[in-house]
Structure 1
Amino acid sequence: MYNWKLWIWPGLAAVACLTALAIWFQAGVVEADLKSRALAALRQDNAWAQVSLKGRDLILTGLAPDKDSQSRALKTVRTTYGVRVASDNSTLLPEEKPFRLTVEKNVDGLVLSGFVPNESARANILAGLSNLLPGIAVSDQMKLARGAPDGLVDLVTYGLSAFTRFSTGSFELTDYSLRVSGQALNPDDHQAALAALSAPLPSGGVLESVNIMPAAVSGDYNWSASISADGMELSGYAPDAVTRDGILATAKASAQDRPVTDLMRFASGVPSGMDWNAATAEALAIVSHLNGGTVSIRGKVLDVSGQAVDGQAFRQIQEMLATGLSSGLVLGTADIGVAVASPYVWTATRDGEAVSLSGVLPSEAVRARILEIAHLKFGALQIIDSQNIGAGAPDGFETAVLTALQALSRLDDNAETRVEDQAVIVQGAALSQVALDDTARLLEEGLPQGFEGQSSMDLAPTPEASLQVSDCQAELNRLVATNNVLFETAEAAIQDHSYGFLDHVAFVARQCGQAQLEISGHTDSDGAEVANLDLSERRAKSVLAFMIAAGVAADRMTAIGYGESKPVESNETDAGKAANRRIEFRVLN
């Protein structure tokens, strides 16, 4: 009989082996599929994660950047279809506190060290550097660690924004604090780097320090300040931020409320032995006196051009340049004019013991002449000079001013004369009718062509009460102590400079009642004695005639000449001779 057991057991063994092989091969396919799908799910947000499988049981491995990432990755694989059990065998990255990242730029390229939180951050930083500095060699020594600040890549991108402007440099990030330093390629790149780092920081970052070394300039180390009605503009170089801030502060103080535009750039190369702060301060002191113009420094040379605000400013600039510059600067060129004044006004006032001159004149020579004439007309009275120099004077202005000055000399205290463009304006009280008439005629006939006289004058009232003899003499002595009668050389003709002085003498004499008055003439010892005696008498008579015309009764006065017989000083000196040439007024009773 056939024994089926003999042939079925080998068949069953073969089937079992084939089945086991089929199951084994099928398990490998399942595991590969599960692993592929799990890694695909992890790739987007958890690229750090790796997996291994035993059948459909999955084990999560890798270095997680933080616990949240661990939890998210585990959740991701657990929800992957086909996974039966998922267990976590991953570990956390080491934590860095503080979290640091450094980028160094040197002649060989870039060196990145410190830490990044994940490979995605690393890739983004490297991509940013590649775009910023294409082709540069990069040595990536960054390690993975936990503890990175939020927005790490944005903070790094901000800090590296100035690197294109550096030949060498470094960027350091410590948590949220940034420090940037570098050597600028040139002054323009220095300014561009500062501009890049002046933008608001992302992600709550704090720019702790910026230290950019200025580049050396090619050519002269220069600086300039230009001023106009619109404001002041600064350009050129400063060696550091402290110096630049000091220059800017001085400029704002000099600009007199006009805006200051700062276009200065940083650069090294200040000339040896020069204090750049002091040099620019001296230049700005000159600029403050300009209405418009430019002061520039080239190396150690100072150049000035422009229009002074007024004559006083012009003189101050000249004095500064004449006395020398203490900062090491040497004057190059100086082309300085005076700003045009409009309206063109000059004023003279007489008040008590002083004459005040103010306003604008066309030149220093004219100013000197006006002062000289004022001293001749007003003698020892104080002359307060506030006159300035300015362009824009109409033709004949000097002559008009001299006419106005003559008119003022014929008036009492509290009088004023003014020349405004081509108008000569006189206000005040004349001390006699002849003084009033002479001044009115002067304004009608004595002005240059194109000028017009305007007057508001009247007669000063003579006090009703007469002076006592002693008071009369005292008042005459006071007047004589302040001035003298001037005559043409070797002649008896009275110079018009003395008309105003004699107006005041006559005004006092009219207050002396019926007191008799002696007018005596005196000379120095030059020339023949007889001739001097004759000259002194003729001069005394000229004064007598003036006094009569000014309203003093002729029968109250006598004129006498003493020649050189009564000197008051030695005739051995010019000053003594000048003192001896005089007119005296003496009350006789």
Structure 2
Amino acid sequence: MRNWKFWIWPGVATVACLTFLALWLRLDPIEADLRYRATAALAVDHGWAGVLVNGRDLTLQGLAPDPENQADAIETVRQTYGVRVVTDATGLLPVQSPYFLSLEKTENGLLLSGFAPNDAARRQLVALLSENLPGIALLDQLKLARGAPDDFVALAAFGSAPFSRFSTGLMEMNGNALRIYGQALNPEDHEAALALLAASPPGDGLLESVEITPVQVMGEYTWSVTSSSAQVMLSGYVPDQVARLALVEAAKAAHPDLDVIDGMRFAAGVPEGVDWLRAASEAISLSARLTRGTASLSGGQLDMSGEIADGDAFRALQARLDEGLVEGLTLGTVDIGLARVSPYIWSGALSSNALVLDGVVPSKAIADRLLESAALKFGRLKIDDRQRVAAGAPGGFETAALAALQALSRLDEASVVLRDGALSVRGEALSGNAAADLQRQLEADLPEAFAAQQSVALKPLPSEDLSGPSCQNVLNQLLAANTIRFDTGQAGIQHHSFGFLDRIAFAARQCRDVRLEISGHTDADGDEGANQTLSERRAEAVVAYMVAAGVGPDRVVAIGYGESRPVADNETDTGKAANRRIEIRVVN
């Protein structure tokens, strides 16, 4: 028996040791498996949490970003298969108020400091900055804390978006309020940064302030305003937002009917000694005088080019420039031409009270010649001159306009309109002969490139005849308003007087039972006998014209008085002109 006990105890001890070793070796893989599965489950939404494993019991550790996340992490571990007991050893991140985030860009790189709500947000910010600002060293000094505003990462991304446009910059996020400062790399990046910040910040974010320092211009500080028929473009450099807004408003006021396009860029470097805002505002005011063109500032010099409506506008612009510019600004090149007008329209309108000449003409000289021709045709009738000079006239314009004036003189209550190469004639002819002459005259005088369209009716005679005294009164009024013109030293009637004689003949036709004496008179220059003959021939020419216009030949008689009946002194040019005349007198 003693031998049996001696042998059994060593065996029992060996079995016990082997059993303990087997149990220990079996327990280690179980703990490793639980740790792996619990950590994997937490990694999805709770990267802040860690676990300690003791057998099948787990202790949860770490600082949760908020109570909800903390409770969810505990529940996640409890739901892990094989876990028996979960001990909560977690805490909460400290609350930070105010919640602050800073991103600073210097020549040495990026410094990210302040607070982030969790590691995931932290990693997102770092990844975002590395993507948007590649190759720039990033020092991450963020701490974790609770109290972050909603949309924390999106708000930080919004505030950091313009940093690729800055040489140096600073973003400060205090709660949900952003303050952004930066030095623009160039004028284009300045605009791009402003465009990025023009949108509304995410969520409840507030863009509290933006201060972007313009880059210094290398070279001339240039700016311009360019106008066309549709819009006004402002381009070049402006020193600040105040000046920019002021110039946009000035352009809208100067060009109220046009769209104003702001293509300006911020830049430093305004030339010394120039009130730059006043200079640019004056350039806008001057540009409004052009139909299209550009007024530009380069350093302290103003240049202008483009087109202007007419000669009057050009002279007004010259007068304004002669008055001088704002202090420190000098006038450079001025290259202004007359605007090409399309369609090119000129017109004449005749009434009993006035002749109105309106529309565009190629030059002041042509306008003056048209006025001179009108005065010869219409005598003392009031002429309202509304003509203005503009480029774009078709070839042969002056010839066509003179032909139109001649046609107008042959009509009553009439109008003529030249529109590019088309002439429109409307009115009443005072006789059939006048209507036929008008047709022939237009065919002969209009340039080949022009076409005429007529709407001419024959003016009817009034139903009541004029008595002798009434007839004389009407004829006297007509003769006082104009003069029958003849070729110098000849009896040929000038075409300027055809319309005037049409009116005399029309009045004479109303005096049905009245005989008229048509008398010719000359001044005292030259041979008396020659003057007598000339006066007779001129009277006969008028009678012939009146007969052709419908006056009965038995009702008119021609007589010449030569120089025998002067009405003024023959020693002066004015007196001689008064003595050279045709008189019409009722003789029965």
By the TM > 0.5 criterion, same fold?
yes
Q: Structure 2 matches for 1:359-374, cutoff 5 A? A: 359-374=359-374
Quote the offset at 1:378 in angstroms: 1.6
C-alpha spacing 1:421/1:64, structure 2 compared with 1 (3 Å): closer
Residue in 1 that maps onto 2:285: 282
Code of the residue aligned with 1:274 in structure 2: it is W
Quote the offset at 1:71 in angstroms: 0.8
Structure-2-length-normalised TM-score: 0.77
1:218 to 2:214 alignment: no
Contact 1:432 1:550 in 2 (8 A): no
Residue in 1 that maps onto 2:190: 190
Quote the offset at 1:316 in angstroms: 3.0
Quote the offset at 1:547 in angstroms: 4.4
C-alpha spacing 1:544/1:249, structure 2 compared with 1 (3 Å): farther
Quote the offset at 1:63 in angstroms: 2.6
Residue in 2 that maps onto 1:323: 320
Contact 2:101 2:174 in 1 (8 A): yes
Give the distance between the partners of 1:239 and 1:428, measured in 2 at CA. Answer: 63
Q: 2:546 aligns with which of 547, 550, 559?
A: 550
Residue in 2 that maps onto 1:332: 333
Q: Helix, strand or coil: the match of 1:76?
A: helix
Q: Helix, strand or coil: the match of 2:45?
A: coil
Contact 1:361 1:393 in 2 (8 A): yes
Code of the residue aligned with 2:396 in structure 1: it is G
Q: Structure 2 matches for 1:205-354, cutoff 5 A? A: 205=205, 207-224=207-224, 235-241=235-241, 243-244=243-244, 263-271=263-271, 272-275=274-277, 278-279=281-282, 281-282=284-285, 284-286=287-289, 289-290=291-292, 296-299=296-299, 300-305=301-306, 312=309, 315-316=312-313, 319-324=316-321, 330=331, 332-339=333-340, 341=342, 346-354=346-354
Give the distance between the partners of 1:550 and 1:43, measured in 2 at CA. Answer: 117
Residue in 1 that maps onto 2:121: 121
Residue in 2 that maps onto 1:155: 155
Q: Which moved more, 1:225-234 or 1:482-491?
A: 225-234
Give the distance between the partners of 1:515 and 1:445, measured in 2 at CA. Answer: 36
Structure-1-length-normalised TM-score: 0.77
Residue in 1 that maps onto 2:428: 429
C-alpha spacing 1:96/1:479, structure 2 compared with 1 (3 Å): farther
Q: Which moved more, 1:549-558 or 1:208-217?
A: 549-558
Q: Helix, strand or coil: the match of 2:288?
A: helix
Gaps of 5+ in 1: none
Quote the offset at 1:53 in angstroms: 6.9
Alpha-carbon deviations, 1:95-153, whole Å to 9, x = none? Answer: 34553323233444434343210123223212322333344454544332212234322
Residue in 1 that maps onto 2:442: 443
Give the distance between the partners of 2:423 and 2:259, measured in 1 at CA. Answer: 39
Q: Helix, strand or coil: the match of 1:462?
A: coil
Residue in 1 that maps onto 2:132: 132
Q: Structure 2 matches for 1:401-550, cutoff 5 A? A: 401-412=401-412, 414-419=413-418, 426-432=425-431, 434-449=433-448, 455-468=454-467, 471-488=470-487, 494-512=493-511, 513-514=513-514, 519=519, 521=521, 538=534, 542-543=538-539, 545-550=541-546
Give the distance between the partners of 2:431 and 2:81, measured in 1 at CA. Answer: 127
Q: Which moved more, 1:83-92 or 1:178-187?
A: 83-92
Give the distance between the partners of 2:435 and 2:26, measured in 1 at CA. Answer: 136
C-alpha spacing 1:476/1:433, structure 2 compared with 1 (3 Å): same
Quote the offset at 1:581 in angstroms: 6.6
Quote the offset at 1:70 in angstroms: 1.2
Contact 2:532 2:560 in 1 (8 A): no
Residue in 2 that maps onto 1:145: 145
Quote the offset at 1:556 in angstroms: 6.2
Q: Helix, strand or coil: the match of 2:94?
A: coil
* Percent identity between the two aligned chains: 45
Contact 1:286 1:295 in 2 (8 A): no
RMSD in angstroms over aligned alpha carbons? 5.0
Give the distance between the partners of 2:98 and 2:586, measured in 1 at CA. Answer: 106
Q: Helix, strand or coil: the match of 2:112?
A: strand
Aligned residues: 574
Q: Helix, strand or coil: the match of 1:142?
A: strand
Contact 1:243 1:277 in 2 (8 A): no
Q: Which moved more, 1:54-63 or 1:263-272?
A: 54-63
Code of the residue aligned with 2:501 in structure 1: it is L
Give the distance between the partners of 1:142 and 1:537, measured in 2 at CA. Answer: 120
Q: Which moved more, 1:35-44 or 1:426-435?
A: 35-44
